[in-house]
Every structure is written in structure tokens, then in C-alpha cells.
Amino acid sequence: MSENIKAAAKEKEIYKRALDKWGTELQIVMVFEEVAELQKELSKCLRGKDNRLEIAEEIADVEIMLAQMKILFGIHEAVERHKEYKIKRLEERLNL
């Protein structure tokens, strides 16, 4: 098993453990909180603050929570299909 596959499996196991430990409702609330924190940092950036590191941290938090939501709802493949479609649509709009 490659190192990337091992790391992905370990990451998924950690996400599952977090869902088990804190429960569905609390982890959904955490998604709201992490997105709000990212929104706050992006707002600060628009006001002129150089906060790229804070933005990076909040993006990481949001990505972690979104990964948990994909597991919680069993929608990883559906998300990937929607993402592919939307990227293709974006490409088409950019080429107009």
C-alpha cells in the first residue's frame, strides 16, 4: 500500500472517530463555525490586512470539516461528480 493511500485511510479513520466522539449535530455546528471563521478572515483581507496564514488555517479547518460531512452523509462520490460537472461548466463559461 502506497504512503498516500495509507495517509488517506488514516485521515478518514480520524474523521470517523471525530464524528463518533462528538456526534453528528455538534460536527455540523462545527462546519458552521469554521466557515464563519474563514469568512471573518476573508473580510479582514478585503479591509487590507495581510492575513494569508490565518486564511490558510481557516481553509484547512473548513476542508477537514467538509471531509467529515462527506463521510457522515456518504456522499464522497456524489460530491466528486458535482465538482467535475461544475468545473467543466466554469471552463465553458470562461471560454465564452
Q: How confident is the model at residue 2 (pLDDT cuts 50, 70, 90)?
A: confident
pLDDT digits (tens, 9 = 90+) for 21-32: 999 999 999 999
**pLDDT: which is higher, 1 or 59:** 59
The three grid cell numbers given for residue 56, joined into one nine-digit string? 490558510
Return d(Cα 42, Cα 45) in angstroms, integer.
5
Return d(Cα 63, Cα 67) in angstroms, integer.
6
In angstroms, what CA-CA distances link 84 with 17, 44, 60, 74, 87?
Answer: 29, 31, 21, 18, 5
Q: How confident is the model at residue 14 (pLDDT cuts 50, 70, 90)?
A: very high
Q: What is the largest CA-CA distance in the chain?
A: 48
Arithmetic mean of pLDDT, 69-94:
98
Arithmetic mean of pLDDT, 52-68:
98
What's the total number of domains in the chain?
A: 1
Domain hosting residue 46, numbered range? 3-94
CATH of the domain at 77: 1.10.287
pLDDT at 74 over 80: yes
24-27: Cβ within 8 A, 24+ apart: 24/72, 27/65, 27/68, 27/69, 27/72
pLDDT at 96: 80
Q: How confident is the model at residue 83 (pLDDT cuts 50, 70, 90)?
A: very high
pLDDT at 93 over 80: yes
